[in-house]
Amino acid sequence: MDFGRFFVELYMARWALLQGLGVTLVISAIAIVLGTLLGIGVGLSLVYGGKVQRLLVRAALEYVRGTPVFVLILACYYLLSQVGIQLTAFQAGLVALTVFCSSHVGENLRGALLALPKGQTEAAKAIGLTFRQTFVYVLAPQALRQALPAWINTAAEMVKASTLLSVIGVLELMLATRQVISRNFLSLEFYLLAGIVYFLISFSIERFGRHVERRVALPS
């Protein structure tokens, strides 16, 4: 490993790599936000929806969960243009990641809500709270605390899944790294760098998650 040469090439490639990193972070963040919103809808449908709604959502959910995220990405990329929706690779990838995220968030939220003791709803009813009030003041705060570790894990998975977008041409960190290497052939060095960056991102997310968990933990 030639450190001198590496740092020269790194300096020359800095914008390309930073841009790639930026795309990774941005697309992951947007997918996490949109996927969480959609996932909340999925989770609520599964717990509180009518029979037909629950069946349809469950079927769609099992379909998404049974499909590898790579296939989701490829399918979105090739399919959506066919259906007349012209999307860039970035947008198609975003759709795929959002759907993937929502499947995890939905299932986690359902688990968290169902894990709440029935007595909580009964106690809330007993003091006269309506269903909406019960959900907002009693159930949701507890379910969210319960679902937090799994959500942090999902967020980390999203960043890892973003690497697959390089295959459909989204210029995130993996693809940016590969392009830089095609110019200077320092394969080991730049991939190691990318690996360290991914490690740091994932590690930081976990760290942040544990910090938040401690902050919102109930005194006991």
Partner 1 sequence: MGYQLNFAPIWRSFDLLLSGLALGLGMAVLAILIGCLIGLVAAFAMTSGSPLLRRIASTYVTVIRNMPLFFLIIFAYFVVPLTIGMRIDKVHAFVATLTIYAGAYLTEVFRGALLALPKGLREAGLAIGLTERQTRIWVIIPVMLRNALPALSNNFISLFKDTSLAAAIAVPDLTFYARQINVNSFRVVETWTVCSLMYVAACTLIAAGLRYAERRLAIPH
Partner 2 sequence: MTNRVLEIESLHKQFGEVEVLKGVDLDMESGDVVSIIGSSGSGKTTLLRCVNLLEDFQQGSIRIDGQEIGYTPMPERRRRKEAEIARQRAMTGMVFQQFNLFPHMSALGNVTLGLTKVKKLPKAEAVAVAERWLEKVGMIERRNHYPGQLSGGQQQRVAIARAIAMNPKIMLFDEVTSALDPELVNEVLNVIKSLAAEGMTMLLVTHEMKFAYEVSRRVVFMNQGRIEEQGAPADVFRNPRSTRLAEFLKNAKF
Task: Kindly tell me which residue out of 117, 182, 214, 215 binds partner 2, with binding defined by CB under 8 A.
Answer: 117
Residues in region 123-162 near partner 1 by CB under 8 A: 156, 159-162
Neighbours of 156 (CB within 10 A): 20
* Residues 185, 36: Cα–Cα separation, whole Å: 40
Question: Any contact of residue 61 with partner 1 (CB under 8 A)?
Answer: no
Task: Kindly tell me which residue out of 119, 211, 214, 215 binds partner 2, with binding defined by CB under 8 A.
Answer: 119
The residue whose two tokens read 């933990």 is: 217
What 3-state DSSP class applies to 194? helix
Residue among 158, 159, 40, 23 nearest 100 (CA) = 158
Work out how close the CB of 131 gets to partner 2 at its nearest, in angstroms, rounded to a whole number. Answer: 6
Contact 35, 102 (CB under 8 A): yes
Task: Kindly tell me which residue out of 3, 11, 51, 84 binds partner 1, with binding defined by CB under 8 A.
Answer: 84
* Residues 172, 89: Cα–Cα separation, whole Å: 11
List, in sequence order, the alpha helices (H) in the chain.
3-48, 51-66, 69-82, 89-114, 118-126, 131-133, 140-162, 173-184, 187-216
What is the pattern of x (binds partner 2, CB under 8 A) and - over residues 142-171? x--x--------------------------
Work out how close the CB of 49 gets to partner 1 at its nearest, in angstroms, rounded to a whole number. Answer: 22
Judged by CB under 8 A, the stretch of 62-70, 87-95, 157-165, 212-220 that binds partner 2 is 212-220
Q: Which does 208 bind (CB under 5 to 8 A by kind): partner 2, partner 1, none?
A: none
Contact 216, 148 (CB under 8 A): yes
Work out how close the CB of 137 gets to partner 2 at its nearest, in angstroms, rounded to a whole number. Answer: 6
Task: Kindly tell me which residue out of 2, 62, 122, 213 binds partner 2, with binding defined by CB under 8 A.
Answer: 122
Question: Any contact of residue 53 with partner 2 (CB under 8 A)?
Answer: no
* Residues 218, 220: Cα–Cα separation, whole Å: 6
Residue among 107, 5, 34 nearest 64 (CA) = 107
Which residues would be at the binding site for partner 1 (CB under 8 A)?
62-63, 65-72, 74-75, 78-79, 82-84, 156, 159-164, 166-167, 174, 178, 187-188, 191, 194-195, 198-199, 202-203, 206
Which residues would be at the binding site for partner 2 (CB under 8 A)?
117, 119-120, 122-131, 133, 137-138, 141-142, 145, 218-220
